[in-house]
Amino acid sequence: MTRSGLEGVVVADTRLSEVDGERGRLVVAGHDIEGLAGGTSFEALAELLWTGALPQAGAQGRTREALAEGRARAFARLEAAGPGRFADGMDALRATTAQLAADDGFDTPAALTGAVAVFAAAWARVRAGGRPVAPDRSLPHAADYLRMIEGEAPTPARAAALEAYLVTVADHGMNASTFAARVVASTGSDPVSAIVAAIGALKGPLHGGAPGPVLDMLDAIGEPDQAAQWVEAELAAGRRIMGMGHRIYRVRDPRAAVLEAALGRLEQAGVTGGRLALARAVERAAEGALRAKYPDRALAANVEFYTAVLLDAVGLGRTAFSPTFAVGRVAGWCAHVLEQRATGRLIRPASRYVGPPG
Ligand code: COA
């Protein structure tokens, strides 16, 4: 029997993350996401994914240095890559990353993770009419990403909010882009090719392309008291509510709560995108309407819902949302490539022929 969408099919043993859809829990290499997103640096999270352990206190320099080196080397490649000619940030990211050669030193997790941040930032910068900004080795990865987009170092509160986001999305079980990366890695191909495939998968609106449309939706709704009516009309027209529903979670995505908390911290620091109250009203309305339409299928907010509100409050334009997702998720993709190479077998499933008989 065909398992539509491979739902429920286990394709790998992994030590990287566990997604418990019934209880709404995400564990990354033995650590709850709530604890990690509350203060772990992106560097430490990357080290956890790539080595299996968080760095000892005071020993975070190694990964920070490797990421900074990756950013510097990628920036040196930037002119030839020319991300600005692409209207879409994910097209730019895919094309620029594809120009890296694994045999040129871009086959390590830190080199690739550094490169994705540089290319995503350069695209956002060039599309806004500026010139790419060179990375700053002295800054942490998240802060430098914002700096390369904006031209100046961000406030600590904005850098911390972005860092919480990057940590939150770095890995998430066998999602579609991670699976794409593992399929390519399983053939013995190089890590650059695996990451390029993953970027292509992440681009789709059913995966990483939803946060931009979530913000479009909030704009279209405008006021909290319009939420219920708007959501009802969308569902009646047969359209999906972006940022709601998930293949695995049968309760609210725990990452939605983590990002909502990061938004709260940002507001306390005086930074507000002004959309949090509206977002909460839309979430309530959408949850209610979806419960009425699909009483047997719990459809609640997913990570993308509050991603949109958080990245907007941090100051990123909506076209940069999906590339920024890749800036975080690439750490997980790289970890899965390592794991696939170390323990996996060629991924080659079967299909059922339903065409005319020969
Ligand atoms: N709005 C309206 N209806 C939705 C919905 C949403 N956000 N999510 C699911 N549904 C509907 C489906 O259309 C399906 O209805 P049908 O049986 O009449 O066709 C039913 O609920 C069950 O869907 P399900 O099997 O749970 O969806 P899935 O596992 O195939 O897809 C998503 C999961 C995430 C692709 C889906 O929920 C979706 O499209 N969400 C919006 C996009 C989004 O937020 N993506 C980011 C994911 S992190």
> Tell me: the pLDDT tens digits for 123-169?
999 999 999 999 999 999 999 999 999 999 999 999 999 999 999 99
Q: Percent of the chain having pLDDT more than 70?
A: 99
- What pLDDT, in 10s, does the model give residues 30-72? 999 999 998 899 999 999 999 999 998 767 689 999 999 999 9
Asked if pLDDT for residue 80 goes beyond 90, the answer is no
pLDDT greater at residue 1 or residue 337 = 337
Question: Rounded mean pLDDT of 163-192?
Answer: 97
- Based on the residue annotation, tell me whether 267 is a catalytic residue of this protein: no
Asked if pLDDT for residue 272 goes beyond 90, the answer is no
Pocket test for ligand 1, best of 299, 306, 329 (most atoms within 8 A of CB): 299
Pocket of ligand 1 (CB under 6 A): 5, 206, 210, 240-247, 294, 297, 299, 302-304
The answer to whether 30-207+319-343 and 212-314 have equal CATH topology is no
**Measured distance CA(251)–CA(221) in Å, rounded:** 25
Question: Rounded mean pLDDT of 106-119?
Answer: 97
Give the atom of ligand 1 at the shortest distance from the alpha carbon of 305.
Answer: 44
- Ligand 1 atom 3: residue of nearest CA: 240
Kindly report whether the global pTM for this prediction surpasses the value 0.85: yes
- What pLDDT, in 10s, does the model give residues 204-213? 988 887 778 8
Q: Which of 143, 109, 136 is nearest to 330 (CA)?
A: 109
Count how many residues are written for the chain. 358
Please tell me the predicted confidence (pLDDT) of residue 81.
61
Please tell me the predicted confidence (pLDDT) of residue 207.
86
**Measured distance CA(258)–CA(317) in Å, rounded:** 21
Using the mean position of ligand 1's atoms as its centre, give its distance from the Cα of residue 107 in Å: 36
Catalytic residue, chosen from 150, 246, 336, 339, is 246
Using the mean position of ligand 1's atoms as its centre, give its distance from the Cα of residue 35 in Å: 29
Q: Which residues pair with 20 in a beta bridge?
A: 25
Using the mean position of ligand 1's atoms as its centre, give its distance from the Cα of residue 358 in Å: 37
Using the mean position of ligand 1's atoms as its centre, give its distance from the Cα of residue 116 in Å: 29
Q: Percent of the chain having pLDDT more than 90?
A: 84
Using the mean position of ligand 1's atoms as its centre, give its distance from the Cα of residue 289 in Å: 13
What pLDDT band is residue 76 in, cutting at 50, 70 and 90?
A: very high
Question: Domain spans of the chain?
Answer: 30-207+319-343, 212-314
Asked if pLDDT for residue 226 goes beyond 70, the answer is yes
Sheet strands (E) in the chain: 17-20, 25-28, 31-32
Give the atom of ligand 1 at the shortest distance from the alpha carbon of 206.
Answer: 45
- What pLDDT, in 10s, does the model give residues 309-320? 999 999 999 999
Collapsing DSSP to helix, strand or coil, 353 comes out as: coil
**Measured distance CA(225)–CA(279) in Å, rounded:** 11
CATH for 212-314 (3.30.565.10, 3.40.30.10, 1.10.230.10, 1.10.540.10): 1.10.230.10
**Measured distance CA(246)–CA(228) in Å, rounded:** 21
Catalytic residue, chosen from 163, 304, 336, 339, is 304
Collapsing DSSP to helix, strand or coil, 17 comes out as: strand
Collapsing DSSP to helix, strand or coil, 349 comes out as: coil
- Based on the residue annotation, tell me whether 69 is a catalytic residue of this protein: no
pLDDT greater at residue 180 or residue 209 = 180
Please tell me the predicted confidence (pLDDT) of residue 205.
85
Please tell me the predicted confidence (pLDDT) of residue 12.
95
CATH number, domain 30-207+319-343: 1.10.580.10
Q: Taking a C-beta distance cutoff of 8 angstroms, is the pair 124, 320 a contact? A: yes
Residue 167: which residues within 8 A CB-CB, separation 6 or more? 36, 37, 40, 41, 42, 45, 328
- Ligand 1 atom 14: residue of nearest CA: 294
Give the atom of ligand 1 at the shortest distance from the alpha carbon of 208.
Answer: 46
- Identity at 236, one-letter amino acid code: A
Please tell me the predicted confidence (pLDDT) of residue 101.
87
* Contacts of range 205-210, beta carbons closer than 8 Å, 24 or more positions apart: 205/242, 206/176, 207/175, 207/176, 207/177, 208/177, 208/304, 208/322, 208/325, 208/326, 208/329, 209/90, 209/322, 210/242, 210/243, 210/302, 210/304, 210/308
Mean pLDDT in the chain?
94
**Measured distance CA(149)–CA(46) in Å, rounded:** 22
- Ligand 1 atom 13: residue of nearest CA: 240
Asked if pLDDT for residue 75 goes beyond 80, the answer is yes
Query: What would the DSSP string read from start to end of 268-287?
Result: HTT---S-HHHHHHHHHHHH
Please tell me the predicted confidence (pLDDT) of residue 37.
95
Using the mean position of ligand 1's atoms as its centre, give its distance from the Cα of residue 93 in Å: 27
- What pLDDT, in 10s, does the model give residues 298-355? 899 999 899 999 999 999 999 999 999 999 999 999 999 999 999 989 999 999 999 9
pLDDT greater at residue 121 or residue 247 = 121
